[in-house]
Chains A and B, each alone.
Chain A
């Protein structure tokens, strides 16, 4: 493919994609150029596929045949972001946003809406898109989407994820064409340096500097790697980019190859992401076939080849040197730095490694310029950040906001607040390497430096919302279980430190904590921070230190009062029946597996705490809310 052919392809598919980005009236005009009266977009990301969105597509195809519809296009996209409402289906040009759609709903939508002259089936629309007077609000205007700015996710949920034509129509490979035809490698690196782009994988190292180091290293062979080993539990940003717009990563890695003088790249992706792996394979084959990777790319004389490598479930492989050791086929253990990968990386050659979200920002920076990118976000953290919102929050999903957006805006405006009227307690960011932001610091502007200043970290962007029912000691224990399990064992501070910290937390949550345990924690944590080989061990104490910083009262309650204020740590709880609420229905007594509940019919029952094993079966069955944990 030449640049002219690329541009011709873009012109051919541009309007088809643009219908999905503009307001209804403009979309209707554009639709006339596309040959399709309407387009139905169905999310084919992991979240929606797990709730049977593929069956919705099958039903649409069947109903189209039954109703003789041949001028409506079905598009299987990546993630729309609002995973809580999946499966999601959007109809353009009207932008009707159908939520939690079943195959039966889809059939009805075809018969009532998608047939010529049909009308939107309002009862299946996402309720946030309907005004009280029954008129429809464009979904881009709903609270979930309004504050978002989609740069990395620009094509996710917009294009057919398995189509190179649509990716080109949406602007993918335009930056590659621009770089190869009109920029020197130094121009590319200078543009990145000026943009202030920082690595989105966790540490926030300036991407341009990383590239400049690798370019300056003299070697006949260099490598470009993509870290798609998104191991942080509760984070799924990178997966969504790969599922929704795999070509943007391929394009950006090729640009990096040109900038540093590499001709080979590897994408290291989690095997636990079968959809992403499949779409990457499809995208790589299509790009190779079209000459967008391989020999003489776009007629420029530049060669670049890309290969996929599957991870096998080791969190430590998210660390750059461990990832490279794993690509080399060994146990994924980290190596001491220096030498840094830009000097001596994969197979001992200069290598750059960026994570998926970082790659997804390259095309817009090249196309719109460093100044534009710098104008978004905060002074030291330019651009946007994608967060995976999870835990106790209404709008679970994927959001992309300018750096500097406050935590409260994300949790309450975009996220729709906490379910069941519970109180917001804290947000956990940065996963097992990060920390908690307490609710009273909800006005913190989220960027790399502000989060570090309050004892948390940006991390890759997992944002888990915790409500008042969460015990912070238990959460710290959860993360230490994770890091103790995932510590690779190569260096002693991490291998033994994580184990010892976990032992102490288990002791505290079982009610055996002693005052000096808190000192021991600080002591071990300091040693781990300063002497672990890689970031896994250096940051593993963070979940404890940050919860101790903000919730020392809970630690003290566990240690001194032997009580768990949130009612989570079983060993510290007793089950108790409130006399005035108990109707004596006997349901709990029949349910109890150890016969700890006694009482006569229609009289309040009692629990023998010596016999009780605290399994919670009685609470689940009680219809009167009479059983409490104290």
Chain B
């Protein structure tokens, strides 16, 4: 679990509570609520999970269980720029593991980690469905395809502060 202190604002809390109020009587609403909470806060720290549990009247254990089951939910904050390396089969056979290794080397972090300045985080994903462009890396909303390790530096340069 993250050691980074929680910095939620009252506006964020209001937004989340309004959504919970709207959804709480829908069957199976916990997932949509957590998805919205992650959209608002960027991640699901324990403080946010407590708000969700309280708002929906379910136990914190239930919320934590769901939040940790699905790979989309993250309990620690992500970088300003989120790098997602596709390790789906089509990308893997075309060498996406080498792209990941190069990214890890350049940024000095492993998949799942965040750079100390908070600028980048690296994650792996299962398939973005752009198999025609394999191997593929997604940074924020931008898709980079047909990559080779020597293209990594140039790709990152667009996001350096």
Interfacial residues, chain A to chain B (CB-CB below 8 A)? 46-47, 49-51, 83-84, 86, 230-236, 239, 271-273, 309-315, 326-332, 347, 388, 390-392, 396-397, 428, 431, 462, 464, 466, 470, 475, 478, 482, 488, 616, 620
- B35's nearest neighbour on chain A, judged by CB, is A310
- Chain A residue contacts of B27, Cβ below 8 A: 328-329, 347
Contact A314 B133 (CB under 8 A): no
Is B134 part of the contact surface with A, judged by Cβ < 8 Å? yes
Choose from B93, B98, B126, B133 the contact partner of A464 (Cβ within 8 Å): B93
| A478→B28 CA distance, assembly (Å) | 34
| A583→B109 CA distance, assembly (Å) | 37
- B133's nearest neighbour on chain A, judged by CB, is A50
| Contacts beyond the supplied A47-B129, A312-B35, A313-B71: 19 A-B pairs with Cβ under 8 Å | A47-B130, A49-B143, A50-B136, A51-B143, A51-B145, A234-B89, A234-B127, A271-B72, A272-B125, A272-B126, A272-B128, A312-B31, A312-B70, A328-B28, A329-B29, A396-B131, A462-B89, A488-B69, A620-B149
- Chain A residue contacts of B90, Cβ below 8 A: 233-234, 390-391, 396, 464
Contact A50 B127 (CB under 8 A): no
| A330→B27 CA distance, assembly (Å) | 11
Q: Report B142 CB to chain A, min CB distance, Å.
A: 9
- Chain B residue contacts of A272, Cβ below 8 A: 72, 125-129
Q: Report B124 CB to chain A, min CB distance, Å.
A: 10
Q: Report B61 CB to chain A, min CB distance, Å.
A: 11
Is B132 part of the contact surface with A, judged by Cβ < 8 Å? yes
Q: Report A620 CB to chain B, min CB distance, Å.
A: 7
- A488's nearest neighbour on chain B, judged by CB, is B69
Choose from B30, B69, B98, B136 the contact partner of A314 (Cβ within 8 Å): B69
- A389's nearest neighbour on chain B, judged by CB, is B131
Complex interface residues of chain B between 29 and 58 (CB less than 8 A to chain A): 29-32, 34-35
Given contacts A314-B71, A391-B90, contact A233 B127 (CB under 8 A): yes
Is B5 part of the contact surface with A, judged by Cβ < 8 Å? no
| A470→B71 CA distance, assembly (Å) | 29
Given contacts A271-B35, A271-B72, contact A50 B134 (CB under 8 A): no
Contact A396 B98 (CB under 8 A): no
Give the top 6 A-B pairs by smallest Cβ distance, nearest first: A83-B132, A233-B88, A390-B90, A312-B70, A329-B28, A50-B143
Q: Report A469 CB to chain B, min CB distance, Å.
A: 9
- Chain B residue contacts of A230, Cβ below 8 A: 129
| A86→B145 CA distance, assembly (Å) | 11
Q: Report A426 CB to chain B, min CB distance, Å.
A: 11
Is B73 part of the contact surface with A, judged by Cβ < 8 Å? yes
Is B66 part of the contact surface with A, judged by Cβ < 8 Å? yes
| A49→B31 CA distance, assembly (Å) | 28
| A49→B133 CA distance, assembly (Å) | 11
Choose from B66, B130, B134, B150 the contact partner of A46 (Cβ within 8 Å): B130
